[in-house]
Structure 1
Amino acid sequence: MVVRRAGGTVIMSINTSSVCPNDSTGYNSNIFTVSMYSGIFIVGLIFNLTALAFFFSCTKSRTQTIVYMTNLAIADTLLILTLPMRIYYYMGFGGLPQWLCDGLGLVLKANMYGSIFLLTCICFDRCMAVCFPMSEHVNQGRKKAPLVCVGIWVLTFGASLPIYFSKRKQVHYTNCFGNLPVYATQPIVVLPTLFVGFGIPLVIMLVCSWGLVRAVRQSTVAQTNLVDRRKIQRMIAASLFIFLFSFLPYHATLALLSLYKGNITCPMLSVYHYSVMVACLNTVLDPVAYYFTTETFRKNVEVGVVQRMFPLNSQSSEVNCGSRANNS
């Protein structure tokens, strides 16, 4: 890292090769990285476009869950569309302008946090629907799902744009996607990111998951053979596990880099890049956990191999384009 002043403005020049001398060109032709991003792009794009085709076909009645899942699929799709340039970069090709690298990084991070907030909303909405099914106040609040989604889009991109422009003015990079997350690890940025972008959603998901499990256990219907209580509990646990698996490594790495930003090592930089890859993997896991395991989706969409790969069948009727939508 080289710091110099230009017209009274501090400009930080980041040279990744100084951190990892073996990568003097700044381009990591890692077969594993290219293979993973390629797989995420192909599978994730197919899964999410299939989900979007189904969700947009539900025009007669849209439940709150469909609203959240539609926006989640859109966010995941936008994130996926940034991956071809990452594949191009990690294959060892150069010539990518820095404004494109920064812009694609902005879209990826904004949609990653959009996914986090939308997953949290889905969990919270399910908890409210199950724990307070007769509350008029709760039902009226759940109907504001479209406004909540608009707020999430404004928040994620609105918070990312100032960071993007500040970074472009103050930081000069020598590489593209191989750079250190210098601005993101600043205390003024990393603390709100860890707290608002991950900590609060995680707490909400933990509390709501506990509430859902408790409600299922106490339900009189769950005591009968009409509902597979263990299957519902496994799906709740799977959703929480996917959230932690996808986003905990990235935020833990950000915290680590913020603590050791003056002494970043090559292994730490590699861990950061792999944590970004794992976060992108969430775009494949979301359809598995939230779309293809719902009963109505499986009954109305001919997904062939996907149905055989994921035979679990949710007992929830949340994603429903039929007559029961009015009960949501």
Structure 2
Amino acid sequence: MKGLTTSTNSSPTEEPFLPLFAPYLTNCSIVPMQLLNYEFLLCLQVSNCLMLLVGVALNSLALFVFCGASTHPSSSSCSSSSLVFTINLAVADLLVALSLPARIALYHSRGTCIACSYVHTFSYFVNMYCSILFLTSICIDRYLAVVHSSSTLHRWRTTGAARCVCAIVWVTAIVVTYSFQVRIQSRCTHRSHFYLTILEFLFPLLAVVGFTLRVTCFLSTNHGLMPQQSRARRTRAIRLLAAVLVVFTVCFTPFHLRQVLVYVRVRFAGAALGRGTEHVLAYHITVTLSSLNSCLDPVVYCFVTDSFRRIGVDGERKPHSVHVPKGFARHRPRSRWRTRVSGRGYTSVWLLLG
């Protein structure tokens, strides 16, 4: 801990460092710049630069794949609710990555670039909470697809409903973040931050955990009754939900846990909000860790959902016409599997997510 900080008497003339999440909380949470040494700030800058490059590259590739999938002639359900949520998640993750230059500039200026702080605060936290809510929406969508595949609830899994949910998520995140940013600066809003943590993190986390457990229990009790293809498809749904849960735990939990601890310290111990050295270090480490979400989500799409990965690999290959014997199409069993023969002499199998 001591190696990451310097003495508070080393540079009395330096400007105070404004935390990234609190340019509008100046009177509550000014952090002296001398608490953080140069090596630690340099490490933060390098980490954010790497996440910027990886996040932009992977999410741009993901959007290219998904947008191509939505118009692919061989995948009729690729315009389903699953893809709508995933495209919006990729957009949010891409915007998270694109907000990192403002944070890097803030670190480089040693906290004196107030404009960088405002720009980063708004863009980063809007898109972080959008990512959380879109991950939750994907989890609920998978739950409806697996557990309620034959009930009336499955009818809500439409493209129109998914687009309405996405619009509500974007508007809510923008309005809430903007309302925090225009609050009167003389008023400490740690209680509001606590409520925001409950609303936009704890409830989604409980939903992800609950629906993941429900899907796992359902598949465990009905495993022997499913056809082999259906079992494989629904096993992938468990992998997707487990990956979402891992992203929540690794990326978002540390930051929001720190927010709760700060609230408890201020509310019950009467301490200053985030002034201690340990709070400064915890803040910057957990905020940086939460940005890792923009790099992990593309791995979730590409390596957990095999159909998206196959679309990305085979999307540009044009199939040759194949002679189909008479009567084959009439007697072919109905299935959610699609096959096509490529020009390179192999058959590509498509598993649709709807």
Instruction: Summarize the Cα distance change of 1:267–1:100 in structure 2 as closer, same or farther, 3 Å threshold.
Output: same
* Residue of structure 2 aligned with 1:270, choices 281, 284, 297: 281
Distance in 2, matches of 1:258 and 1:136, equals 43
Q: 1:107 corresponds to which residue?
A: 123
User: Is 1:246 matched with 2:251?
Assistant: yes
The letter of the residue matching 1:42 is L
CA contact (8 A) 1:72 1:114 kept: yes
Distance in 1, matches of 2:237 and 2:163, equals 26
SS at match of 1:133: coil
What is the root-mean-square deviation of aligned Cα atoms in Å?
3.1
**Shift of residue 221, structure 1, vs aligned partner:** 6.0
User: Is 1:77 matched with 2:82?
Assistant: no
Q: 2:151 corresponds to which residue?
A: 135
Task: Report % sequence identity.
Answer: 24
CA contact (8 A) 2:301 2:308 kept: no
- Which structure's relative contact order is higher, taking Cα pairs within 8 Å and 6+ residues apart? 1
**Shift of residue 232, structure 1, vs aligned partner:** 5.5
Q: 1:175 corresponds to which residue?
A: none
User: Is 1:195 matched with 2:214?
Assistant: no
Distance in 2, matches of 1:291 and 1:183, equals 43
Instruction: Summarize the Cα distance change of 1:212–1:272 in structure 2 as closer, same or farther, 3 Å threshold.
Output: same
Q: 1:63 corresponds to which residue?
A: 80
Distance in 2, matches of 1:51 and 1:202, equals 24
Distance in 1, matches of 2:281 and 2:90, equals 28
Distance in 2, matches of 1:141 and 1:34, equals 42
**Shift of residue 199, structure 1, vs aligned partner:** 1.3
User: Is 1:16 matched with 2:31?
Assistant: yes
Summarize deviations over 1:205-246 as a string: whole Å, max 9, x none.
111101111122133467775445776645433321221111
Distance in 1, matches of 2:296 and 2:225, equals 27
Q: 2:142 corresponds to which residue?
A: 126
CA contact (8 A) 1:242 1:282 kept: yes
Instruction: Summarize the Cα distance change of 1:137–1:21 in structure 2 as closer, same or farther, 3 Å threshold.
Output: closer
Structure number with bigger Rg: 2
Q: Which runs of 5+ in 2 are unaligned?
A: 1-15, 17-24, 72-77, 315-335, 338-348
User: Is 1:151 matched with 2:168?
Assistant: yes
Distance in 2, matches of 1:324 and 1:300, equals 10
CA contact (8 A) 1:125 1:142 kept: no
Instruction: Summarize the Cα distance change of 1:242–1:218 in structure 2 as closer, same or farther, 3 Å threshold.
Output: same
**Shift of residue 59, structure 1, vs aligned partner:** 3.6
CA contact (8 A) 2:48 2:288 kept: yes
Q: 1:45 corresponds to which residue?
A: 56
CA contact (8 A) 1:48 1:287 kept: yes
The letter of the residue matching 1:102 is Y
Summarize deviations over 1:70-119 as a string: whole Å, max 9, x none.
000111111111111222333x3369642342122111111111111100
TM-score, scaled to structure 1:
0.76
Instruction: Summarize the Cα distance change of 1:222–1:54 in structure 2 as closer, same or farther, 3 Å threshold.
Output: farther
